[in-house]
Amino acid sequence: MQPIRIAIAGEHALLRNGLKVFIQKDPELIVRIESGNGQDLLKKMARTRVDVVVIDVSMQDEHCIHIMQQINRDYKETGVICFSMHDDPKVIYELIQAGVKGYLLKSEEPKEIFTAIRSVHAGKQFFNFEITSKLLEFKDKKPLNDPDKEPNPRQKTLLQLIFDECNDHDIAQKLNLTIRRVGTLKNELMEKLGVKTTVGLIKFVVEHKLV
């Protein structure tokens, strides 16, 4: 099995080095790129393929949103995780819109980085309960002008469980359904809201504060 290839970007060398050493304690993960700024990261990604990028959103030389957009546009197979000491829902929401698949606070347990990397590498998103709650409380709510897109009570329950980081197996147990039925319900909900992925679902729900 090929290890998951990681890029680490952050302006502080001490932080990058510490994160690299910690990540590579897991034999299934390998750091291929280290970078101190966004433009250097993009140059190195053009030469070295990676599966997941872990980037510090406090980098000062370029706006992180712009970097995320470029990565999302040019490296669609690569998932991006941001980590920061800040939990401003407006910034996090903008990062989600730019294509970020995960967000970690620096105050979290270090082992969470392993869960986040594997989740994003598997095509899923990673936002813990605290971040999810702040996103849901985000004040800039957009009106839901199409009543046909209003989730029914069961769909709202499903949305809440997704935001609570429940996987399909957990949801199936809580709702007394088969895993296959859970997948069907999620697909029906995505079709109803006009989104194609779970990340798109999160963006729509946060935008309209449906949960």
The per-residue pLDDT for range 186-198, each reduced to its tens digit, is 899 888 888 887 7
Give residue 193's region: left, alpha or beta (phi > 0; psi -120 to 50). Answer: alpha
Give the confidence band of 5 by pLDDT, cuts at 50, 70, 90: very high
Q: Phi-psi region for residue 194, left (φ > 0), alpha (ψ -120 to 50) or beta?
A: left
Which residues are bridge partners to 79 per DSSP? 52
Looking at the chain, the domain(s) classified CATH 1.10.10.10 span 147-208
Q: What is the mean pLDDT of residues 115-136?
A: 87
CATH node for 147-208: 1.10.10.10
Whole-angstrom CA distances from 163 to 73, 133, 181, 206 are 26, 8, 19, 10
pLDDT at 49 (0 to 100):
95
Question: CB neighbours of 71 closer than 8 A, spacing ≥ 6?
Answer: 42, 45, 53, 78, 80, 99
Letter for the amino acid at 112? E
Q: Is residue 99 over pLDDT 60?
A: yes
- Say if residues 116 and 126 touch (Cβ distance below 8 Å): yes
Cβ–Cβ under 8 Å, residues 54 and 113: yes
Residue 98 has pLDDT above 90, yes or no: no
For all residues of the chain together, what is the average pLDDT?
A: 85
User: Of the segments 50-59, 91-100, 115-124, which one has the largest average pLDDT value?
Assistant: 115-124
Query: So what CATH class is 4-136?
Result: alpha beta
Residue 169 scores a pLDDT above 80: yes
Does the global pTM surpass 0.85?
no
Q: Sorting pLDDT into bands at 50, 70 and 90, what band is 209?
A: low
Where do the CATH 3.40.50.2300 domains begin and end in the chain? 4-136
CB 78 within 8 A of CB 53: yes
DSSP reduced 3-state for 80: strand
Q: Which of 59-68, 72-81, 103-112, 125-134 has the lowest mean pLDDT?
A: 59-68
180: its two tokens: 């296959």
pLDDT digits (tens, 9 = 90+) for 41-77: 999 999 999 999 999 887 554 567 888 889 999 999 9
Mean of the pLDDT values across residues 135-153? 66
Using a pLDDT cut of 90, give the percent of the chain over it. Answer: 39
Distance CA 166, CA 121 (A): 17
Per-residue pLDDT at 32 exceeds 60:
yes
